[in-house]
């Protein structure tokens, strides 16, 4: 065992990469939940995004198109959820589970021809002299565009929710859908848009796993990242800024345990592999003491009785 | 009484032959009426008379099945509230359309078409609210405001849009008498500025004090119009209800021993924006009805929960016939004779999807022997449900009907009947006649009086002062989780009760 | 324009008709899917739903239905109690794994002793293992208000890692030449969950599943505990008013589901599967969620739904070997079933109406 081989700069750089998929998925789900909808299908949308993105990138040779396809794939799956919960008024928990089970099956069906292939590499963004900075160059300025996109998305969601009229309407719908309806806002329309956004974000997150993080296609490769993203929203108390913190925490834990595995620490690999899930539980326990910030209408079925 | 449908074109808003049907109900049946600029027009009717549906059509929330409306002589058919607001129609809802976790300014902005920036809006909110005597801090979170303050937010939200027609749905149910008087002054000021006000209520003395014209609805139809100042309350009531009701008969008896005693009851509210109870002292004797008044949200739900056993308290804080029961759960308290009926019928006092027969199990499992060694005795459940239906005149196809299929009044009769027929030692009810038609309300009040006459102690929590004055022997008021001194009901005037409720809560008279 | 209108009472007619309707729609959509994969849709559907029951090798497949249906039914019955009460245990897969580990662990601990009490002890150990694993989300929910959905799900991944560790470490077969996996319990008579009547597929797990269905039916229809479960799910505030303790209900529902899932895992590891191995679990814990909903959270419905779902597993395998249909296709098929079920469920509580334009009077 040799912990000295772990380079802190590389570790932190890897942390940003590891955090990106759950960051993307979580910020999308945050918007969905702020609109009052609980979509437990994040895992299903992520894995669908992973294969859609992977397949599109391999077929076209363009990772950019791959990410686009991933967002589309996630959104299409989310549309199914929207149909079930907003039109068929189905239970959101059950519908989310259905989405995950369906997405896992669909992705392995779509992914049959793609096992063992390498995707086209996603280029790193050339930030010129910034990338040459000692330490910070490696940690902050040597990533692909999606890492920055994820962070930009967090800022956009934060500002959008807080300062724009659309953000205010979205929060109003999530807080009290009956009142929002009485004021004449289109509760269902707002929610469908939020659900589609959440699906696209989850799809992007999934594609980041299959195109950058791993990068290859294997069945069930998101391995619970979608569920961790859901936990992250609780952890963040439905606030955008804290999603970043949470994602880095989980990114850090998973990178660290991988490094410890590589360094040959005398703990069985399986116990190290458990750690992200155990940490998730721990964090949930700590955070769930204060649920008061949850959107008022979260998970409730809305039916305008006229 | 006059009944002139087609008014002169001076009307700001004219409704012609509006009809709206829901499955099984004709909510509005050919309603025609006119509202003039600069008048306060009362829309009077019992619960279920169709008032809410009518104003929802005016506000664009519901589309009429037939008929048409005209605003200023122009055809008016708002597809959504936004269109109504654009046309100058504003509405203050009975159940507020507010967002608890958001600030006053954000809430006001959500009700506007083109809200200015929040900072500018905050300044306008301050200005408008103060000039109408409804001071508001735009930065506060709605969840922390009292019911009266929340209503101010709704009103200010409407005023900021310079409405031509202001609809107010039962606005005084959350106000103290003093606050009502201030609201009336604000409304009179608006009227004098030329605003038409459609004022929905079933409280006759308010309408006589405020309104210039009244349209009376019964079962979805216009059954009369009148000038309230020139019409007696009795005459209006009979038109509204379609029959005369005798006030419940109350015989003054001599109260017996103390049945229930609360000493220093303090308990934190489990709800995020709830009201905690603080140091409550009261005792109620056998054969007595103790009324507890107060504006909504001052601890009524918490008091009921603390008494029913849904909220646990220190053991000594609540004593039933001398025995400390603060730590006992609902089932144990029922066994000892303390029964209760919460305010919310659907989802709290009764399970909406379950049959009436199954709903008997909620509170009567032990006292009526509906369960034997854990197994349900379905015949007994049915029999008990049938007995309630029969004795309390619950209009329903039978005990197998789902609770949610009953009308509000009938379900409330079932809920109260379920508790009364179990012969409680002490019965606690919260808002027993809320949202109930006059006939059912009279029957429920009579049942409570009869129960007390048989020697039970009754605590009636209500926001309806008239009801409390009518049935209570003694009266206390909840204000911000504290209970006032308890006084003899016969000796109290509405003004005194209003002061016990906390007076005007920082409202002031409009700066006319 | 189509309009959704709430029914005054849930429709009994649609309550029973929606599952067959969903199955029918799934067959059509699934046929389209198979056609898109280049198969003859009619042949594929026939292979999945007809072959196992009435085909040439039905004598072999029919017992399989009981073997595959039993764990699904056992788990789904447990889950349905919680789902009815609004307690969402979706980590049955983890409880199933842990039950298999503890059950097999007890059996292997006695190896090679031959005694009658070993198998019953294993059943108890399996149930206890699943119960204990389910107590983690239950206790966290009661004590800290932690979301049981996420915790129980996270524990599936933890259980999978534990399973891997056990089959490589503690429970590894000492005579296995270093290969991962435990001793095969089928070769250890005292711990073997053998068929009760040879060739029928009827093992003790099947008996337990039938017992669970009957017990759950009685509980929900006739017992106050079942009433409390239903009441809490439909109207939580009314349940508190009636004196139901939410904490106790969480313990009961999660505990029962965990114990039943654990038992299912134990019956599987000591019977059809035989040994603890890294890929022991095949997703029964998740498929059981579909079974529970397809059976309308009703024990008798779950019995039928479990058999149907077992049929799709077996039919899927036949279609895989005979037609070369990808294994994932059947997974998609099962997922679709849940989708359509949730969608047509609308008809139970709401009615659809065509809004005709009003003619002015």
**Domain range for residue A271?**
3-119+128-287
Q: How many domains does chain A have?
A: 1
Kindly report the number of other CB atoms within 10 A of residue C112's CB atom.
10
Is B110 in Cβ contact with A172 (below 8 Å)?
A: yes
Is C10 in Cβ contact with B374 (below 8 Å)?
A: no
| Cis amide bond preceding A20, omega within 30 | no
What pLDDT does B321 receive?
A: 92
Task: Indicate the CATH number for domain B258-500.
Answer: 3.40.50.300
Kindly report the number of other CB atoms within 10 A of residue A200's CB atom.
23
Query: What's A32's domain CATH number?
Result: 1.10.3470.10
Size of the A and C interface in Cβ pairs below 8 Å? 137
Q: Which residue in the set B350, B358, B374 is minimally distant from C225, CB to CB?
A: B374
Least confident of A63-67, A115-119, C225-229: A115-119
Architecture of domain B11-241: 3-Layer(aba) Sandwich (3.40)
Cα separation, B423 vs B210, in Å, equals 44
Pick the residue from chain B with its C-alpha nearest to C359.
B66
What pLDDT does B363 receive?
A: 94
Cα separation, C164 vs C160, in Å, equals 6
What pLDDT does A289 receive?
A: 67
Domain annotation covers residue A249: yes
The full set of domain ranges for chain C reads 67-306
Is B93 in Cβ contact with A182 (below 8 Å)?
A: yes
Give the residue-averaged pLDDT of B437-461: 92
Is C333 in Cβ contact with A102 (below 8 Å)?
A: no
What digits encode the pLDDT tens for the residues A67-110? 999 999 999 999 999 999 998 888 888 899 899 999 999 999 99
List residues in chain C touching B: CB distance below 8 A: 5, 8-10, 222-225, 227, 230-231, 234-235, 237-243, 245, 358, 360-361
The full set of domain ranges for chain B reads 11-241, 258-500
What pLDDT does B510 receive?
A: 53
What digits encode the pLDDT tens for the residues B230-266? 888 888 888 887 776 666 666 666 788 999 999 999 9
Structure tokens belonging to residue C127 = 């149930």
Which helix (H) or strand (E) segment holds residue B290: the answer is strand B289-293
Touching chains, B (3+ CB pairs < 8 A): A, C
Which residues of A are less than 8 Å from C282 in CB distance? none
Is B344 in Cβ contact with C237 (below 8 Å)?
A: yes
Order of strands across the sheet that contains B25-36: B25-36, B11-22, B66-71, B74-76
What pLDDT does B236 receive?
A: 85
Touching chains, A (3+ CB pairs < 8 A): B, C
Domain annotation covers residue A269: yes
Task: Give CA angle at B26 (B21, B30), nearest 5°.
Answer: 90
Pick the residue from chain A with its C-alpha nearest to B62.
A306
Kindly report the number of other CB atoms within 10 A of residue B189's CB atom.
17
Q: Which of C111, B495, C151 is nearest to A282 (CA)?
A: C151
Pick the residue of B308, B331, B351 with the most C CBs within 10 A to test the interface with C by mutation: B351
Expressed in angstroms, the distance from the first to the final Cα of chain C is 21
Three-state DSSP state, A149: helix
Residue B3 has pLDDT above 50, yes or no: no
Q: Which residues of chain C have pLDDT under 70?
A: 1-2, 354-361
pLDDT band at B6 (very low <50, low <70, confident <90, very high): very low
Give the residue-averaged pLDDT of A217-235: 90
Is B60 in Cβ contact with A183 (below 8 Å)?
A: no
Please check whether residue B82 touches A, CB under 8 A.
yes
Cα separation, B29 vs A265, in Å, equals 80
Please check whether residue A301 touches B, CB under 8 A.
no
What digits encode the pLDDT tens for the residues C11-61? 778 888 888 899 999 999 988 988 988 888 898 888 888 888 888 888 888
Residue B272 has pLDDT above 60, yes or no: yes
What pLDDT does A6 receive?
A: 67
* Mean pLDDT, chain C, whole residue set: 89
Which residues of B are less than 8 Å from C9 in CB distance? 401-402, 404-405
What pLDDT does C308 receive?
A: 92
The ipTM of this complex is 0.86
User: B431-459: buried (b, 16+ CB within 10 Å) or exposed (e) per residue?
Assistant: bbbbbbbbbbbbbbbbbbbebbeebbbbb
For A34-76, give the DSSP string. HTT---TTHHHHHHHHHHHHHHHHHHHS-HHHHHHHHHHHHHH
Is C157 in Cβ contact with A224 (below 8 Å)?
A: yes
Cα separation, B92 vs B94, in Å, equals 7
Write down the pTM of the prediction: 0.88
* Alpha helices for B264-377 (secondary structure H): 300-308, 330-336, 356-359, 361-364
Residue B96 has pLDDT above 50, yes or no: yes
B439: phi > 0 → left, psi -120 to 50 → alpha, else beta; which? alpha
Residue B349 DSSP one-character state: T
Cα separation, A248 vs A235, in Å, equals 12
What pLDDT does B512 receive?
A: 45
Residue B341 DSSP one-character state: E
pLDDT band at A140 (very low <50, low <70, confident <90, very high): confident
Least confident of A3-12, B373-382, C40-49, C170-179: A3-12
What digits encode the pLDDT tens for the residues A247-282? 998 888 888 888 888 887 778 888 888 888 998 899
Which helix (H) or strand (E) segment holds residue B43: the answer is strand B40-45
| Parallel/antiparallel/unpaired status of strands B457-461 and B426-430 | parallel
Which residues of B are less than 8 Å from A300 in CB distance? none
Residue B228 DSSP one-character state: G
What digits encode the pLDDT tens for the residues B312-355? 999 999 999 999 999 999 999 999 999 999 999 989 999 998 99
* Dihedral angle over CA of A148, A153, A159, A162, nearest 10: -150
- Alpha-carbon torsion B497, B501, B506, B512, what sign? negative
Pick the residue of A79, A85, A94, A233 with the most C CBs within 10 A to test the interface with C by mutation: A94
CATH fourth-level superfamily of C67-306: ABC transporter involved in vitamin B12 uptake, BtuC (1.10.3470.10)
Please check whether residue B422 touches C, CB under 8 A.
no
């Amino acid at each position: 065992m040799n912990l000295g081989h772990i380079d802190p700069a590389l570790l932190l750089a890897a942390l940003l990469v590891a955090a990106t998929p759950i960051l993307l998925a979580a910020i999308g789900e945050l918007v969905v939940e702020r609109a009052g909808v609980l979509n437990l299908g994040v895992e299903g949308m992520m894995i669908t995004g992973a294969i859609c993105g992977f397949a599109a990138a391999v077929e076209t040779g363009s990772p950019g198109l791959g990410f686009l396809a991933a967002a589309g794939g996630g959104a299409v799956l989310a549309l199914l959820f929207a149909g079930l919960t907003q039109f068929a008024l189905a239970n959101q928990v059950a519908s989310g589970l259905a989405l995950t089970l369906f997405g896992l099956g669909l992705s392995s069906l779509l992914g049959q021809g793609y096992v063992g292939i390498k995707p086209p590499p996603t280029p790193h963004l050339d930030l010129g002299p910034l990338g040459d900075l000692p330490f910070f160059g490696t940690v902050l300025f040597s990533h692909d565009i999606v890492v920055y996109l994820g962070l930009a998305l967090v800022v956009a969601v934060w500002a959008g929710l807080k300062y724009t009229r659309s953000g205010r309407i979205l929060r109003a719908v999530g807080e009290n859908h009956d009142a929002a309806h009485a004021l004449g806002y289109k509760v269902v329309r707002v929610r469908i848009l939020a659900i589609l956004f959440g699906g696209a974000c989850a799809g992007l997150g999934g594609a980041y796993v299959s195109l950058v993080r791993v990068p290859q296609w294997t069945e069930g490769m998101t391995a619970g990242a979608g569920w961790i993203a859901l936990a992250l929203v609780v952890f963040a108390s439905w606030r955008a800024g804290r999603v970043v913190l949470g994602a880095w925490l989980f990114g850090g834990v998973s990178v660290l345990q991988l490094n410890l595995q590589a360094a040959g620490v005398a703990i069985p690999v399986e116990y190290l592999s458990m750690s992200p899930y155990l940490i998730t539980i721990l964090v949930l326990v700590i955070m769930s003491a204060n649920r008061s910030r949850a959107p008022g209408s979260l998970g409730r079925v809305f039916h305008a009785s006229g | 009484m006059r009944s002139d449908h087609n008014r002169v074109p001076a009307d700001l808003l004219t409704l012609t032959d509006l009809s709206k049907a829901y499955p099984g109900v004709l909510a509005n049946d050919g309603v025609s009426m006119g509202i003039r600029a600069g008048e306060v027009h009362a829309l009077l009717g019992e619960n279920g008379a169709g008032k809410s549906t009518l104003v929802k059509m005016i506000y664009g929330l519901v589309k009429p099945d037939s008929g048409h409306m005209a605003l200023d002589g122009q055809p008016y058919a708002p597809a959504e509230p936004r269109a109504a607001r654009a046309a100058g129609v504003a509405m203050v809802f009975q159940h507020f359309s507010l967002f608890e976790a958001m600030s006053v300014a954000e809430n006001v902005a959500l009700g506007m078409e083109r809200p200015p920036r929040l900072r500018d809006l905050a300044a306008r909110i301050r200005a408008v609210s103060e000039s109408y005597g409804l001071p508001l801090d735009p930065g506060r979170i709605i969840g922390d405001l009292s019911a009266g303050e929340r209503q101010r937010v709704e009103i200010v939200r409407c005023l900021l849009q310079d409405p031509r027609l202001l609809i107010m749905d039962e606005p005084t149910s959350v106000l103290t008498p003093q606050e009502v008087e201030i609201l009336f002054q604000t409304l009179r000021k608006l009227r004098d500025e030329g605003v038409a006000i459609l004022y929905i209520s079933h409280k006759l003395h308010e309408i006589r004090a405020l309104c210039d014209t009244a349209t009376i609805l019964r079962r979805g139809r216009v059954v009369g119009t009148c000038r309230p100042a020139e019409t007696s309350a009795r005459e209006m009531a009979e038109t509204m209800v379609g029959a005369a009701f005798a006030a419940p008969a109350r015989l003054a008896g001599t109260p017996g021993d103390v049945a229930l005693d609360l000493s220093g009851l303090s308990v934190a509210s489990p709800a995020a924006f709830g009201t905690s109870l603080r140091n409550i002292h009261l005792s109620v004797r056998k054969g007595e009805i103790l009324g507890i008044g107060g504006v909504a949200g001052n601890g009524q739900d918490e008091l009921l929960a603390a008494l029913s056993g849904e909220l646990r308290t220190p053991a000594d804080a609540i004593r039933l016939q001398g025995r400390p029961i603060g730590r006992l759960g609902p089932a144990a308290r029922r066994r000892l004779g303390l029964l209760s009926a919460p305010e919310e019928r659907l989802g709290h006092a009764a399970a909406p999807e379950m049959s009436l027969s199954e709903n008997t199990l909620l509170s009567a499992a032990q006292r009526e022997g509906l369960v034997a060694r854990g197994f349900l005795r379905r015949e007994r459940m049915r029999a008990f449900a049938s007995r309630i239906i029969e004795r309390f005149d619950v209009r329903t196809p039978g005990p197998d009907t789902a609770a949610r299929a009953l009308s509000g009044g009938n379900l409330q009769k079932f809920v109260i009947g379920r508790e009364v027929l179990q012969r409680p030692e002490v019965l606690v009810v919260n808002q027993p006649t809320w949202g109930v038609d006059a006939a059912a309300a009279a029957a429920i009040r009579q049942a409570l009086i009869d129960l007390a006459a048989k020697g039970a102690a009754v605590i009636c929590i209500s926001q309806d002062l008239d009801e409390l004055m009518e049935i209570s022997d003694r009266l206390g008021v909840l204000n911000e989780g504290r209970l006032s001194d308890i006084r003899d009901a016969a000796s109290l005037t509405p003004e005194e009760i209003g002061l016990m409720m906390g007076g005007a809560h920082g409202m002031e008279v409009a700066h006319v | 324009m189509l309009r959704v209108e709430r029914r005054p009472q849930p429709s009994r007619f649609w309550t029973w008709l929606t599952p067959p309707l969903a199955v029918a729609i799934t067959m059509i959509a699934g046929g389209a899917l198979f056609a898109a994969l280049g198969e003859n849709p009619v042949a594929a559907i026939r292979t999945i739903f007809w072959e196992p029951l009435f085909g040439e090798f039905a004598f072999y497949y029919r017992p399989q239905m009981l073997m595959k249906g039993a764990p699904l039914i056992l788990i789904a019955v447990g889950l349905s109690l919680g789902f009815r009460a609004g307690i969402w245990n979706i980590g049955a897969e983890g409880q199933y794994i842990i039950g298999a580990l503890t059950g097999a662990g007890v059996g292997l601990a006695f190896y090679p002793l031959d005694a009658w009490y070993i198998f019953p002890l294993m059943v108890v150990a399996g149930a206890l293992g699943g119960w204990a694993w389910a107590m983690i989300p239950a206790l966290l929910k009661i004590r800290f208000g932690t979301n049981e959905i996420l915790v129980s799900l996270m524990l599936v991944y933890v259980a999978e890692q534990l399973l891997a560790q056990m089959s490589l470490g503690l429970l590894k077969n000492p005579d296995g030449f270093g290969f991962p996996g435990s001793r095969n319990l089928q070769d250890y008579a005292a711990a073997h969950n053998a068929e009760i009547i040879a060739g029928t597929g009827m093992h003790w797990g099947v008996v337990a599943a039938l017992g669970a269905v009957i017990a759950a039916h009685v509980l929900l229809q006739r017992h106050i505990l079942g009433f409390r479960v239903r009441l809490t799910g439909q109207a939580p505030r009314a349940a508190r008013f009636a004196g139901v303790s939410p904490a106790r209900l969480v313990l009961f529902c999660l505990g029962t589901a965990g114990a039943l899932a654990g038992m299912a895992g134990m019956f599987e590891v000591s019977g059809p599967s035989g040994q603890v191995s890294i890929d022991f679990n095949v997703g029964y814990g998740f498929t059981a969620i579909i079974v529970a909903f397809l059976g309308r959270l009703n024990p008798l419905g779950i019995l039928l739904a479990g058999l149907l779902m077992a049929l799709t597993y077996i039919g899927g395998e036949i279609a895989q070997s005979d037609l070369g249909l990808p294994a994932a296709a059947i997974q998609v098929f099962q997922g679709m079933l849940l989708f359509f079920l949730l969608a047509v469920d609308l008809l139970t509580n709401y009615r659809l109406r065509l809004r005709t334009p009003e003619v002015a009077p």
